[in-house]
Amino acid sequence: MNLKRMTALFKRELTDILRDKKTLIMMLVVPIIIYPLLIVGMTLLMSSIMSSQAEKTYLIAFENDTDLEKQIGDIIEDNEEKIGYKLEIVKENDCQGSLENGTIDAFVRVEENDKVLLCYLSAKDRSSTAVSALNDAFELYREELTKEKIEDAGLDAEVMLNPIRYEQEDYSTTEESIGNLIGSMMPFLIVTVILLGAIYPAIDVTAGEKERGTLETLLTLPITNFEMIMSKFLAVSCIACVSAVLNVFSMGGAMAFLVSSSLSSAANMNIEIHYETFIPGILFTIVVMMFFALLVTAVCMCTCVFAKNFKEANNYVTPVMLIFMFGSYAAMIPDLELTAQTAAIPIVNVALLVEGLFQFHYNYGLFAIVLFSNVAYSLLAIMILGKIYNSEAVLFSEGLSSVKLFTRRSDMKEKQMPGFGDVVLLLCIVLLLIFYVGTFAQLKFGFFGVAVQQLIILLCPLVYAWYMKADKTQLFSIQIIKPLQLAGSVMIGIATFVGALIIGALLMPVFPESAEGLTQLDDMVVNQPIYLLILVVAIMPAIGEELLFRGFVMGTLKKRCRPIVTIVVTTLIFAAYHMSLIKMFTIGIVGLGLTLVTYKTGSIAASMCVHFLNNLLSVLITKYPTQIQRVLPILFKDRLSVSDMLLLAAVVLICAAVGWMLIGGKKKEKQKR
Amino acid sequence: MIIVDDLCKEFERTVMSKEDEAQTKRLAKSHKKGTLKQKKESFYAVNHVSFQVPQGEILGILGPNGAGKTTLLRMLGALMQPTCGSVAIEDENGNRITDPVQYKKSIGYLSGNTKLYHRMSTREMLYMLAEIYEIDKQTADERIENIAKVLDMHSFMDNRIEKLSTGQTQRASIARCLIHEPDIYIFDEPTLGLDILSADAIVNFMKSQKEAGKTVLYSTHYLEEAQFLCDRVLMIYQGKIVKEGSPEAIMEECGVGNLRDAFHHVMEEVDTL
């Protein structure tokens, strides 16, 4: 990467975007002028309408000449403050007719059984207001009558009417209540403004560039693909960030104006709001927004690049926009909070984090996960973008297409191998299914939900491979394994398991839960019968996860990458997949072992077997802790001493060496033949 | 010198299979609606092409529409990756340049699809390009001044490109290819749709560059233009070179008096094969 060239390209993209009127309007005019105007203007309009309504006089008539007219008249006169509207009683002969033609706003009819009817037209706002004021007057009259009746009976009216006195008392500070309100609305606003800021520039630099015909010009320049994408990506992110920050400030200002004006006018109370308490929240929000803008930009660009022109890009990007907005509703779901799991879900994590910030929850650990996951997802999206920009099919609208799933099934070649795009797509599908279907199943069916989740992991790669007519034997490394190689694999499995124990113990001071990751299972599963546990916790993951990671992912990478890249990337994906920052290292080590054995032996049976044994051990430990403790006491120690560690390290070395020899030795023999 | 060795480019195209043709006929008779399966098949848009172009030569690439001219030139400009084979530039010292970034620095590529950035002025664009080609500020100043003089662009150097006329835009496009003073120019139908004056300006430009010892590869449909301008022409049909040589030699071989007739002659010959 050449920094000077990239700066020049970045400058060019930025100039180009900023000279586009559409973007400028979206970025500057909308936030700085339209939003405040709308919010403040609407409020002023509403309050002026309300006050003019209060000043109006509403005309009321009584159909029958009764005593009631005088009584109510007195009440209205005495309680104008309480009722809040001016009511005037007028004489009318044909009350219903007058109501219908609008000379009066409501009238009172007394029926034969002394039932009083307040007659009005619900279709008319004036009439509705009048009747509700009239209703208040009658309510006051009723109270007066009740009081009189009670006192006539010789009782204390105050005690009879209010036998118990109670009030609500709110211990939340004003800031907390306001924060709660803003926190539930803010995520949606933020997602929307970032989208608005990002979409136009994203379309402009991708589809717009194609439409204007400058893409081919750009390709003639001596720049690498990466420089081209990064300069575009950074320029759009910059614009999205700036416009989002502008938006938040202008909206925040307008909202602050609203809150203070409504408080001062409505309540007549001396509430002082300490706006400065929101400053940390706002600052963090801006930081989160910047990271989120990266993701939004990358996703928008990935979508728009497939379009040939502005109009088409607009169509493509609309569903993306809806998905983002839908995700931001997460903040409005009660009880859904930011946890280690939700912190890794794109969009939702940002929504929950921002909501939390305004409710003064500062959890820096989760904060880090949210930022990290946003960067990770953006990188993923940029990688995909790079892939798309490499595809001449997309750039020149001709050539060979790159994601296999996007071609018709009948056109697919038999026995093909998937590409990187397929791996990313499959992982996304599995993640989404697990998150939505799996979580739902777990909530609904408890333990059997776990089985559903495992089934998803098992079926997805198989179905994907079947659909794209992949060469399954090669992709999933289906091959019979020699007993010695299997023994070697198990040895390596033991080595990595023990290695993970050591790492877990070493990380204990940093992440107290890290050691638990390996051996302890959820409380939910403990009470299940042993055969079910073995099936769901040991056998199914051993088959499903291996098919997905050591099968599909590694099989694809193996074809296209160097061995070291294949092994590292597969392991990283496997570790990241368990969605826990704490367990990542220990699972990563075990994953490395699994990846290595399949890579070395060329058979998925190796890693399946090791994975099964590893999970079986967890099941046995959970189910029969006392028996296992007798055999392997070291697994139950809270702290490992230095001598324990050295012993374990020796076990790792010996097992790894023996295992490596067993696997490798056979291979050499094969080569000799 | 540009060296093209066994160059291929594979594309996909949609075709109708024989069953589908039969199906179409059946459907047409029965007036029923039905789905047709379209097959995709791959084909070579450029099919094992090899040639070399020495410095100071103008090479014309001729062929009917869809013959593979644009794809070939795109690969020569390193805009597209070949499916197989290679393109390389050999410098004076005999070193072969294949790294795309270095390679593109020696190429000035112009086609109907290489539009300019509308929202910039010509001057801004040229300075931006100078930065990307890593030309220092002083050299860039001199070159831009010189280019503006040669192409007579002073009157519109600071206008936004979207405001320029077709002829002015074409001159600005040429300026784009000149800023890094490349050794090789690749022009894809440069005179297409231009008026006589603008087209002549481009032809004269190519001549002047040849005289300055530069290589020019260009494709065209104007055979008269190619006849008097090119040192050598390649006739391409279905991705393959079907005739190669100087215009005079080709005309003599075909026994005709101009390149247009020779072209017809060659195409007929290929079709009968």
Give the CA dihedral A217, A220, A222, A226, nearest 10 degrees.
Answer: 70
In a domain, B33, yes or no: no
Chain B closest-CA separation from residue A233 CA (Å): 18
Q: At what angle do helices B166-178 and B196-211 cross, to 10 degrees?
A: 10
Q: For residues B199 and B175, state if they share a domain.
A: no
Sheet of strand A116-119: strand arrangement: A86-90, A57-62, A106-110, A116-119
pLDDT value of position A38: 82
How far is A582 from A594, CA to CA, in rounded Å? 20
Helix or strand holding residue A88 (H, E):
strand A86-90
SS3 A230: helix
pLDDT value of position A408: 55
A-chain residues near B111 (CB < 8 A): 216
pLDDT value of position A522: 61
pLDDT value of position A398: 44
pLDDT at B127 over 90: yes
Look at A220 and B39 and tell me if their CB atoms are within 8 Å.
no
Q: For residues B267 and B144, state if they share a domain.
A: no
Q: B31 pLDDT band (50/70/90 cuts)? A: low
Report ipTM (2 d.p.): 0.87
Could you tell me which chain B residue has the CA closest to the CA of A213?
A: B115
**Which neighbouring-strand residues pair with B234?**
B61, B244
In a domain, B162, yes or no: yes
A-chain residues near B117 (CB < 8 A): 12, 16, 212, 214, 217
In a domain, B198, yes or no: yes
In the structure encoding, which two tokens stand for residue A19, read together? 């000279």
How far is A426 from A432, CA to CA, in rounded Å? 10
A231-277 tens-digit pLDDT: 999 999 998 888 888 887 887 788 777 777 776 665 555 667 777 88
DSSP string, B142-166: HHHHHHHHHTT-GGGTTSBGGGS-H
pLDDT value of position A673: 36
Chain A closest-CA separation from residue B252 CA (Å): 38
Which residue numbers in chain A have pLDDT < 70?
1, 263-271, 393-394, 396-413, 421, 510-526, 579-582, 638, 665-673
pLDDT at B35 over 70: no
pLDDT value of position B143: 93
pLDDT value of position A672: 37
**Is some CB atom of chain A closer than 8 A to the CB atom of B119?**
yes
**Is some CB atom of chain A closer than 8 A to the CB atom of B116?**
yes
Q: For residues B213 and B186, state if they share a domain.
A: yes
Q: For residues B54 and B140, state if they share a domain.
A: no
Residue with tokens 């398991």: A497
Chain B contact probe: residue of A4, A6, A9, A12 with most B CBs at under 10 A: A12
Of A171-185, A644-658, B52-66, B251-265, which gets the smallest average pLDDT?
A: A171-185
The CATH number of the domain holding residue B228 is 3.40.50.300
Q: For residues B242 and B158, state if they share a domain.
A: no
pLDDT value of position A667: 44
Query: Left (φ > 0), alpha (ψ -120 to 50) or beta: where does A149 sit?
Result: alpha
pTM here?
A: 0.66
- Nearest by CB: B120 against A5, A15, A407: A15
In a domain, B156, yes or no: yes
Q: Which domains does chain A carry?
A: 3-35+174-399 (no CATH), 54-161 (3.40.190.10), 447-672 (no CATH)
**Is some CB atom of chain A closer than 8 A to the CB atom of B105?**
yes
Q: For residues B98 and B195, state if they share a domain.
A: yes
Q: Which structural domain range is residue B246 located in?
A: 2-10+48-106+182-272
Q: Pick the closest to residue B196 from B241, B176, B153, B166 (CA basis).
A: B166
pLDDT value of position A668: 42
Look at B101 and A9 and tell me if their CB atoms are within 8 Å.
no
The answer for B 60-79 residues in CB contact with A (under 8 A) is 74, 77, 79
Q: Is residue A416 classed exposed, middle or buried when 0-12, 13-18 and 19+ CB atoms within 10 A define those classes?
A: middle
pLDDT value of position A402: 44
* C-alpha triplet A585, A586, A589: angle, nearest 5°: 85
pLDDT at B184 over 80: yes
Q: For residues B157 and B69, state if they share a domain.
A: no
Give the CA dihedral B66, B70, B71, B74, nearest 10 degrees.
Answer: -170
In a domain, B22, yes or no: no
B-chain residues near A408 (CB < 8 A): 40
